[in-house]
């Protein structure tokens, strides 16, 4: 990465690197994601949560995904009786959260000296990759992801979390691309996702409003592009009402020199410690 990109990252809070992954690399994790979805049997653990028991199961399913690989359904995927409205492969919201450590195909995609070099350039001198997510943004039902900052989910002291967002398909406004607030990483952390026991919830920290769309920039990027962004950068993505999916893959890394908060939802056991990019 050039010093020009370093400057872009520190000035804007993000940098766009086209052609970071090639078509064969993208095809490999798309195929693997298909296989994981094929093997997934929705057993109602995410059924419409009308009772406390269902809420508890949703929490367990989510929190338990920290050290394994699980599929998550789109909110609009189930009907009132908790049955899939459409084909399973078109109903998945995402897969998370430890593919990069547990699945050889995802592991290959998620590591390498090229990623380590980008991490260095954006100031992650000792990166630890905590989380991987394969995001489907399905045609027609792909949901909006409201404005947020990824640092809300990965608090460290000092703050260090950085997002590595790979476009696996062309992303544009029609299929729900990312929107960012250039320079917004200089603002405060507005919320923290705090785990306590078997539950986790958003806690407000700062009342600074989220940007409006005039302050935001759509990141229309082609497949293979890596967008690397600062943990405080406000970002959002609209719903996908188009006929085409918008697959993306993300990694979240912190710096081992910073202290990882014990109240972060994602914790690793000694058997599966977070690793770097190489
Ligand atoms: Fe995010």
pLDDT at 49: 46
Architecture of domain 3-32+96-260: Sandwich (2.60)
Distance between CA atoms of residues 90 and 155, nearest Å = 33
Distance 161 CA to ligand 1 centre (A): 11
What is the reported pTM? 0.95
pLDDT at residue 57 greater than cutoff 90? no
Cα(16) to ligand 1 centroid in Å equals 16
CA of 157 to the centre of ligand 1 (A): 19
**pLDDT attached to residue 1:** 52
CA–centroid distance for 269 within its chain: 21
Domain positions in the chain are: 3-32+96-260
Tell me the CA–centroid distance for residue 149 and ligand 1, in Å. Answer: 6
From the CA of 147, how far away is ligand 1's center (Å)?
8
Take residue 253 and report the two structure tokens written for it.
């890394």
The C-alpha angle with vertex 96 and arms to 17 and 197, in degrees rounded to 5, equals 125
Q: How much distance in Å is there from the Cα of 67 to the middle of ligand 1?
A: 19
**Mean pLDDT computed over every residue of the chain:** 93
Give the distance (Å) from ligand 1 centre to CA of residue 81.
Answer: 30
Rg (CA), the chain: 18
Distance of CA 273 from the midpoint of ligand 1 (Å): 23
Which CA distances in Å does 46 have to 62, 83, 132? 9, 10, 20
Determine which of 39-48, 90-99, 159-168, 227-236 has the lowest per-residue pLDDT on average: 39-48
């Amino acid at each position: 990465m050039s010093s020009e990109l370093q400057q872009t990252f520190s000035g804007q809070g993000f940098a766009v690197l086209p052609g970071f992954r090639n078509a064969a690399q993208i095809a490999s994790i798309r195929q693997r994601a298909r296989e994981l979805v094929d093997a997934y049997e929705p057993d109602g653990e995410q059924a419409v949560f009308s009772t406390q028991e269902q809420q508890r199961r949703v929490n367990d399913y989510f929190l338990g995904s920290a050290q394994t690989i699980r599929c998550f359904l789109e909110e609009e995927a189930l009907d009132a009786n908790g049955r899939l409205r459409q084909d399973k492969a078109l109903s998945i919201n995402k897969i998370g959260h430890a593919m990069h450590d547990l699945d050889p195909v995802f592991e290959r995609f998620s590591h390498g000296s090229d990623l380590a070099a980008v991490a260095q350039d954006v100031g992650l001198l000792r990166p630890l990759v905590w989380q991987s997510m394969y995001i489907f943004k399905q045609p027609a039902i792909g949901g909006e992801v409201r404005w947020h900052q990824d640092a809300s989910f990965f608090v460290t002291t000092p703050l260090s979390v950085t997002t590595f967002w790979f476009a696996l398909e062309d992303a544009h406004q029609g299929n729900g691309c990312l929107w960012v607030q250039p320079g917004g990483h200089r603002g405060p952390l507005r919320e923290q996702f705090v785990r306590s026991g078997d539950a986790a919830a958003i806690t407000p920290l700062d009342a600074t409003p989220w940007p409006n769309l005039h302050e935001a920039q759509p990141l229309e990027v082609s497949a293979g592009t890596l967008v690397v962004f600062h943990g405080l950068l406000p970002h959002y993505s609209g719903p996908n009402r188009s006929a085409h999916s918008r697959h993306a893959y993300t990694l979240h890394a912190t710096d081992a020199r910073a202290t990882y908060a014990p109240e972060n939802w994602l914790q690793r056991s000694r058997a599966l410690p977070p690793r770097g990019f190489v």
